[in-house]
């Protein structure tokens, strides 16, 4: 079967084999793939682009991820923690600027106990109709359960790579099995779940990427973040090359045609590697963009990879800039929370 036929078959059946996905990732079929992914984005999700405010509230981390600049071994990084009141205050600023989803992200930082996160969730929920996504790593079932009761709507915890051996070698502090368990627990508790992976990890092949996309399908995710790996000088992978933006766009498009309705952000790592490709992602299946809203002094310190795109702009200025861009490309700015379309 030629590549175009395989794409048509996947669109029709929402099923694909590893070999079929590898074929698409390998062969030059991007014009067709991107165009059908864009059409499917339009028919399943519409023309709205969802803006999410992200507060990266702590760069303390107990983990030792080989790729991540805030890993615990990096002793050169100035560490910060936002106080609960400060987090709530910035979430309020974002809400008043028009954001209807707040993503609370951090390193895995046990200083934020179950109770502290519960308090933050309850206070943010008092603002009005606002969705909260947590992205704070691995915790036990009862903790996730409590946060769901306190008002958390979604949880983003990427599987990073579907290759179990590779996952375990990159994450000596944890395991692929535990990551999967967390995702399963979150789903069972009724969260809208987000997973995702990096493109360009050492030892990764097109077959691994095919498995990554199929795993998103198996997990039945509501959202998925797919971005290129970017080397950070204070990590074990400092000399490993940056991941391919082109392959990132193909993986994004393939995820759109296989899964149809998930929220797919154009990731910050895509912007850092190539702003043009971040914009292109809106034509290859993406329908979400996130904006950092914590104070500038903290934005610079949340350095998971070197990022020269951080500017000292106000929350309002940044939002206006993105809104203008969305309108310029003929799309609409969503004014809703942007909950899972499946639900
Ligand atoms: N601690 C939480 C967790 O593990 O889910 C959330 C924070 S973690 C820093 C957020 C994401 O950053 C990870 O899921 C990973 O995909 C991404 N990331 C970290 N280092 C990266 C790098 N060097 N290049 C690209 N993405 C990276």
- Within the chain, residue ranges assigned H as helices are 3-13, 18-26, 30-45, 84-96, 114-125, 141-149, 164-170, 176-188, 206-219, 245-259, 268-273, 275-280, 296-299, 315-328
Does any domain span residue 30?
Answer: no
User: What angle do the packed helices 206-219 and 245-259 form, to 10 degrees?
Assistant: 30
Does any domain span residue 323?
Answer: yes
pLDDT one digit per residue (tens) for the chain, 343 residues: 799 999 999 999 999 999 999 999 998 878 999 999 999 999 999 999 999 999 999 999 999 999 999 999 999 999 999 999 999 999 999 999 999 999 999 999 999 999 999 999 999 999 999 999 999 999 999 999 999 999 999 999 999 999 999 999 999 999 999 999 999 999 999 999 999 999 999 999 999 999 999 999 999 999 999 999 999 999 999 999 999 999 999 999 999 999 999 999 998 888 888 777 677 899 999 999 999 999 999 999 999 999 888 888 999 999 999 999 999 999 999 999 999 987 5
Q: Is the CB of 105 under 6 A from ligand 1?
A: yes
Distance CA 162, CA 213 (A): 9
Does any domain span residue 240?
Answer: yes
Atom number, ligand 1, closest to the C-alpha of residue 197 = 16
Cα angle 138-139-144, degrees, rounded to a multiple of 5 = 120
SS3 198: strand
Distance CA 257, CA 71 (A): 34
The total domain count for the chain is 1
Does any domain span residue 88?
Answer: yes
CATH of the domain at 173: 3.20.20.70
Which candidate, 217, 154, 250, places its Cα nearest to that of 15? 217
- For 300, the domain range is 40-333
Q: Is the CB of 176 under 6 A from ligand 1?
A: no
Does any domain span residue 31?
Answer: no
Does any domain span residue 125?
Answer: yes
Sequential DSSP letters for 139-169: --HHHHHHHHHTT--EEE---B-S-HHHHHH
Q: Is the CB of 305 under 6 A from ligand 1?
A: yes
């Amino acid at each position: 079967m030629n590549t175009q036929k395989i794409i048509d078959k996947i669109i029709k059946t929402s099923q694909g084999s590893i070999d079929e996905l590898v074929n698409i990732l390998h062969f030059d079929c991007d014009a067709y793939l991107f165009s059908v992914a864009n059409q499917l984005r339009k028919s399943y999700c519409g023309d709205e682009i969802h803006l999410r405010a992200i507060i990266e509230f702590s760069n303390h981390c107990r983990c030792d991820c080989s790729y991540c600049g805030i890993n615990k071994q990096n002793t050169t990084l100035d560490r910060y923690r936002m106080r609960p009141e400060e987090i709530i205050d910035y979430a309020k600023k974002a809400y008043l600027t028009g954001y209807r989803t707040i993503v609370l992200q951090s390193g895995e930082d046990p200083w934020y106990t179950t109770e502290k996160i519960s308090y933050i969730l309850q206070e943010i929920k008092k603002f009005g109709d606002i969705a909260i996504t947590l992205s704070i790593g691995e915790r036990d079932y009862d903790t996730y359960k409590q946060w769901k009761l306190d008002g958390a709507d979604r949880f983003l915890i990427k599987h990073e790579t579907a290759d179990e051996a590779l996952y375990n070698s990159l994450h000596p502090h944890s395991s692929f099995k535990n990551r999967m368990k967390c995702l399963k627990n979150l789903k069972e508790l009724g969260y809208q779940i987000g997973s995702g992976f990096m493109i360009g990890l050492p030892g990764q092949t097109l077959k691994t990427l095919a498995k990554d996309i199929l795993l998103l399908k198996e997990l039945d995710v509501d959202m998925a973040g797919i971005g290129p790996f970017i080397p950070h000088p204070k990590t074990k992978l400092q000399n490993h090359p940056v991941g391919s933006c082109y392959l990132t766009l193909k993986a994004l498009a393939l995820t759109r045609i296989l899964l149809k309705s998930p929220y797919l952000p154009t990731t910050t790592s895509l912007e850092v590697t190539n702003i043009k490709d971040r914009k292109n992602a809106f034509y290859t299946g993406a329908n979400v963009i996130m904006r950092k809203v914590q104070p500038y002094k903290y934005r610079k310190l949340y350095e998971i990879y070197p990022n020269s795109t951080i500017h000292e702009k106000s929350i309002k200025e940044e939002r206006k800039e993105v809104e203008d861009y969305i309108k310029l490309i003929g799309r609409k700015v969503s004014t809703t929370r942007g909950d899972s379309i499946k639900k």
